[in-house]
Structure 1
Amino acid sequence: MSSFQPTPTILLPHLPAKTLVGLDLLSFTSPEQFYGISDLSQGWHFLYTGTTENFSLRCGAWFYVGDIRQVESARSQPNDDATTQEIVKSQSREPAEIRIWKWNPEIEAILPLMSDTDSNKLEIMRWKANLGGLRQMGALFSYKSAATHDADQETETASFPKQKDWSRLTSHLSPQILSRMLGEAHWDDDARPSWTVTSANSAARDAEVIPGVTAQESSEEAGKFGNSEKTEKELRFLPVDLKRTWREGAIGRERTEAAQDRSWALGDLIDQSSSSSKSSADQKTGESHILGELQFCFLMILTLMNYSCLEQWKRLLGLIFTCRSAIRERESFFRDVLQLLLLQLRHCEDVVGGLFEMDGDYDANFLRKLLTNFRQLMEEALEGQDSLVKRDMDALEKWVRENYGWELRKGSIMRRGLVQLEDGEEVELAMIGADEDDESGEYAPVVVDTGEGDHTGLDEDHDIDTPVN
């Protein structure tokens, strides 16, 4: 009889039946005999639960399978195959990771089971000892089998199976990024960190203000997942202010140009995300932090339907896709953003109800307009150059045209035309707001003479005739 070889597994004992369970891009309703998920692959994973499949509060946690200390070093040398192989070898010599997270009925969420009491120690030992039996009775779902089954189903309709995409959707995440946004990690008995988040967590700027209710009272009412305190966790996003995109003290033309081309604001955000040094390595770190936050926000929309993450995702895209000069200076960064956005759009329909419908933007006007303007900015910045950014933009443009019917080239959009009615009469129609983007027509800028700087005004020495009653 062959001995049982455990694989990386997360056990979820005492989980109520018919609970929504999600792991990465997979989700299902738990059956009666369900105790966990085995055969976890190395890398980042996000596990979440909800009492119902639709719009109940969802609670989840990020964790890493493998040696998390290698995440940053592996990213710093992405093309070093020898380094990657060495990491894999070092992991293969380590015992399989067995995580035990127990359902907490008070907060309706799962939490790591800690050996802080004798009863918990015995329970942990019992579950680990019965791992082989749970597998034989079919109480453990296989992550790899589910991913393979999912890929086989999608082969006929798509070229990017969901589970193959997960590693690309999390490629820029790191412990540093998660700790900045979600606070300090929770460490289990085996010194493995995890970061908790719920669909109710919000950044301070996105928090709903209710008249007559203080922020503290609202926070206590919401509660906090993974902590005995009753204060809601605040998401600490990168500071993006689209209303002020120029340096302190800028005036006149500099301020106007920085409002039209937000490259300075993007560079300033990258500097804030990196160290004080402006070396190329630190710049790459700052760019990776922005990409990592883009990935985190989208996946929290996808899995938890977190509204604050949706707003930050839109803010970051609104900053990046309104830059002109930065396209030449940060070509690799813009390529990464375009490739990431294309991958995210392939999964936007996985959001319950649809990604764009979640914000009430049923026609996705925000993103369509943003990409249309970026297409023009890119042509102006890279005029006459055969840049790889153009190729990635062409791939994104082709996909949105085929799937959404979007036309991103302004010259190809018909803004005025004649329409023949049923009685034969021809009527000229014009697209509402057609001149807004080009700042022409009624949207054209107007020069106003304020009289400053000339001598047309009245001097104090001039006599003024006043009417006499």
Structure 2
Amino acid sequence: MSNFQPPPTVLLPHLPAKTLVGIDLLSFTSTEQFHGITDLPAGWHFLYTGTTSNFSLRCGAWFYVGDITHVEHTHAQSQNDAHDQQPIVRAQGWEVRIWKWNGETETLLPMLSNTDENRLEIMRSKANLGRLRQMGALFGYRSEQAQEGDIRQSDWGKLTDRLSPQILSRIVGGEAHIDDDGRPSWSITSASSAARDAEHIPGLGAQEASNVTGRFGSEKEEKELQFLPVDLKRTWREGAIGRERTEAAQDRSWALGDLIQRYNNTGPSSSDQRQGENHILGELQFCFLMVLTLMNYSCLEQWKRLLGLILTCRMAIREREGFFKDVLELLLLQLQHCRDVEGGLFEMDGDYDGNFLRKLLTGFRPLMNEALDGVADSVVKNQMDALEQWVRAEYGWELRKESIMRRGMMQLEDGEQVELVMTGADEDDETGEYAPVIVDTGEGDGTAASDADHDIEISTPVN
């Protein structure tokens, strides 16, 4: 018995029955006999709970099974955050975590041996691990995955492969919680929010959201989410005017490159900017999964902001083909799991037809074709074709503008034929009544020529 080496396990003593428990892409309702989850594979995991399986407030935490120092070295830390981050300690001992239920906050917290009572309970729980397995009191992660053909486990790995301790520490906005064995975890709740989104959380004001967020996830008030700074209303460099500013508003490649350089620790002069790109990909993964598991509204907004930046670039597509291929591949996998969101991902935001994403993808294809004109075989084109085929089959979306019928005849039941015209069809192309116009603002004072040189364009409908 002394040679028994338990598989990676999370023990959840005293968890009330009928509590919603989720681990990665799996979720279930706990029973009286449930004591934890075992057979966890190496890699990132997200454990969360809720008082009910409906739209209750949920609390969860990220943790890593295996040697997390390997992830640290793979995803090097950005210079901007180097002095703010807490060093991660190499974990020692068995991969057995014990998280205790807090009845006051209705959440799980890693148990520390800071009291005699806790030390005794930790020793008792680890000693009883073999008996709990024999009793069937532990949920088998791998056995459940095997029943589903390992599809979910494989997908989860692809949905989290860009995460790192640095990305989680930056977003959550605080130090990781280190347990007795030196293993970190990062807590978040469904009410956690970035400052820019707090006042928009449905049903909550800014102050109420802050109060709710502070109740859960830790013994002290939780800090706000620190997302990558994405401002879609200002996508040009400081001091840009005229044509440069107009082009940067239409092609957001400069804003994307600036964001990548800010979070790339090899410096702006380096041609290798994968670390900065990984911050964006990792945040895309984090935000989507927090929507999927916690239904976090602020994470949904940031997911949309990041896609709104990336999928409106043109020049950057050719410069960063590998990055755009990874984004489209990740987006396809995320869309394949968006129905796992309770009520549906698009329905959560009130966008029942997915118009936001459909318009982005429809606009991205001509940008891609223009950027890769003359390129025979492109990984970006191939991945976009795969994504297009899937959304056409799943949602009936047509992403090629030339294939969308904008005017046609329709025969009514009585045999009468009427002509139908799609309203707003020219809006995305900025043609017809949506075409930009050049406005002379000089009013005859000699400044008109100067303004004209800068091609001032105002995209407003012509009355």
> TM-score under structure 1 normalisation?
0.88
2:215 to 210, 224, 232: 224
1:372-396 Cα shifts (integer Å, max 9, x gaps): 0000100011112121110010011
1:213-272 Cα shifts (integer Å, max 9, x gaps): 99556523543323223x343100000000000000000000000000000000011112
Change in 2 beyond 3 A, CA 1:222/1:46:
closer
Change in 2 beyond 3 A, CA 1:209/1:295:
closer
Could you say which residue in structure 1 is the equivalent of 2:454? none
In 1, distance between residues paired with 2:17 and 2:305? 39
| Offset, 1:275 | 2.9
> TM-score under structure 2 normalisation?
0.89
Aligned-pair identity in percent equals 74
Could you say which residue in structure 1 is the equivalent of 2:107? 109
Could you say which residue in structure 1 is the equivalent of 2:402? 411
Could you say which residue in structure 1 is the equivalent of 2:412? 421
Counterpart AA for 2:171: M
Could you say which residue in structure 1 is the equivalent of 2:18? 18
SS at match of 1:268: helix
Confirm whether residue 194 of structure 1 aligns to residue 185 of structure 2.
yes
Decide which structure has the larger Cα Rg and report it: 1
SS at match of 2:273: helix
Counterpart AA for 1:180: R
| Offset, 1:99 | 0.4
Could you say which residue in structure 2 is the equivalent of 1:385? 375
Could you say which residue in structure 2 is the equivalent of 1:241? 231
Over the aligned positions, Cα root-mean-square deviation in angstroms equals 2.2
- Do the aligned residues in 1 keep the contact of 2:191 with 2:212 (CA within 8 Å)? no
- Do the aligned residues in 2 keep the contact of 1:12 with 1:102 (CA within 8 Å)? yes
Once structures 1 and 2 are overlaid, which stretch shifts more, 376-385 or 143-152? Answer: 143-152
Change in 2 beyond 3 A, CA 1:66/1:448:
same
In 1, distance between residues paired with 2:176 and 2:248? 38
Change in 2 beyond 3 A, CA 1:114/1:72:
closer
Counterpart AA for 1:150: E
Confirm whether residue 132 of structure 1 aligns to residue 130 of structure 2.
yes
1:275-314 Cα shifts (integer Å, max 9, x gaps): 3712447511100000000000000000000000000000
Confirm whether residue 41 of structure 1 aligns to residue 31 of structure 2.
no
SS at match of 1:28: strand
1:117-137 Cα shifts (integer Å, max 9, x gaps): 111111100000010000000
SS at match of 2:149: helix
1:136-186 Cα shifts (integer Å, max 9, x gaps): 00001111101111227xxxxxxxx21111111000000000000112100
| Offset, 1:424 | 2.2
Could you say which residue in structure 2 is the equivalent of 1:331? 321
In 2, distance between residues paired with 1:112 and 1:221? 21
Confirm whether residue 434 of structure 1 aligns to residue 425 of structure 2.
yes
5+ unaligned residues in a row in structure 1: which ranges?
Answer: 77-89, 153-160, 458-469
In 2, distance between residues paired with 1:65 and 1:307? 28
Confirm whether residue 305 of structure 1 aligns to residue 295 of structure 2.
yes
SS at match of 2:370: helix
| Offset, 1:192 | 0.7
In 2, distance between residues paired with 1:52 and 1:9? 24
| Offset, 1:203 | 0.3
| Offset, 1:422 | 2.1
- Do the aligned residues in 2 keep the contact of 1:220 with 1:232 (CA within 8 Å)? no
In 2, distance between residues paired with 1:73 and 1:341? 26
Change in 2 beyond 3 A, CA 1:402/1:12:
same
How many residues align? The count is: 431
Could you say which residue in structure 2 is the equivalent of 1:285? 275
